[in-house]
Amino acid sequence: MEKIIKPKKYDFSNVIGISEYQLKEHYKLYKGYVNKVNELLTLSNDSQDFKNSNPTYSKMRSVKLGESYALNGVKLHQLYFNNITSTPSAPKGLILKKIVTDFESLENFIEYFKEVGSSVRGWAILCIDPIDNKLHIYGSDTHDTGAMWLCYPLLIMDVYEHAYFIDFGTNKKAYMDEFFKNVNWNKVNLRLKKYFNLLQNNLFERQQEYLSFSNSFINF
């Protein structure tokens, strides 16, 4: 099978508190999603191959459910591995200003993030939402449920049991503590800057007051 996309590579040697074995086993699952996306991308787009579709069971329904699950599985894992597999750094600059503005304090933000992680089975995702230009922490039970359209992802924490069970067993809280020790906030800042650049280039439809608001945070 031709590989349309290839799995990205990550250096797990810099991660502290989460074993390389745990991370490599986790990475195998990510590679599996990549393989399935490649398989899905080779399927026919001829409507004649998908006749008599219906929402209970049909060939098209099966393909589309698998498509969203696998593709989101690839994207979320890439964001997750990317924000923990380089030298950890402290929150600063633009992201810290936004956190304090929208969550009152860094301490409250981190505790809120962990509570979201404790409440869901799949993902805790920090996004900035163009509907109000504020930070939001969304929770998803699976790759393809709970997603918010047009939100821009900034920090992703995998809370599926496969992300921590080898090292931590049922102690999800201990895993989340270690996760935050490994976050490279420089990468989170870079993602946030990219969002505001998109905003300035009118690639997101925004009201003028929000454009003005974003400009005040870009010059930090």
pLDDT in tens, 33-43: 999 999 999 99
Q: Encode pLDDT of 155-198 as tens digits.
A: 999 999 999 999 999 999 999 999 999 999 999 999 999 999 88
Strands, E assignment, the chain: 123-129, 134-140, 152-158
Please check whether residues 21 and 110 belong to one and the same domain.
no
Domain region containing 203: 93-218
Assess if residue 5 is contained within a domain.
Answer: no
Please check whether residues 106 and 204 belong to one and the same domain.
yes
Helices (H), the chain: 20-41, 59-84, 93-103, 106-119, 165-168, 172-181, 185-200, 208-218
Amino acid at 177: D
For the entire predicted model, the pTM comes to 0.87
Please check whether residues 100 and 192 belong to one and the same domain.
yes
Please check whether residues 137 and 198 belong to one and the same domain.
yes
CA–centroid distance for 151 within its chain: 11
Please check whether residues 31 and 136 belong to one and the same domain.
no
Dihedrals φ, ψ of 129, to 5°? -105, 120
**Which pLDDT tens digits describe the chain residue by residue (220 residues)?**
566 899 999 999 999 999 999 999 999 999 999 999 999 999 999 999 999 999 999 999 999 998 999 999 999 999 999 999 988 899 999 999 999 999 999 999 999 999 999 999 999 999 999 989 999 999 999 888 878 888 999 999 999 999 999 999 999 999 999 999 999 999 999 999 999 988 877 665 554 444 454 444 444 3
Please check whether residues 72 and 98 belong to one and the same domain.
no
Please check whether residues 168 and 114 belong to one and the same domain.
yes
Count of H-run helices and E-run strands, the chain: 8, 3
Please check whether residues 150 and 181 belong to one and the same domain.
yes
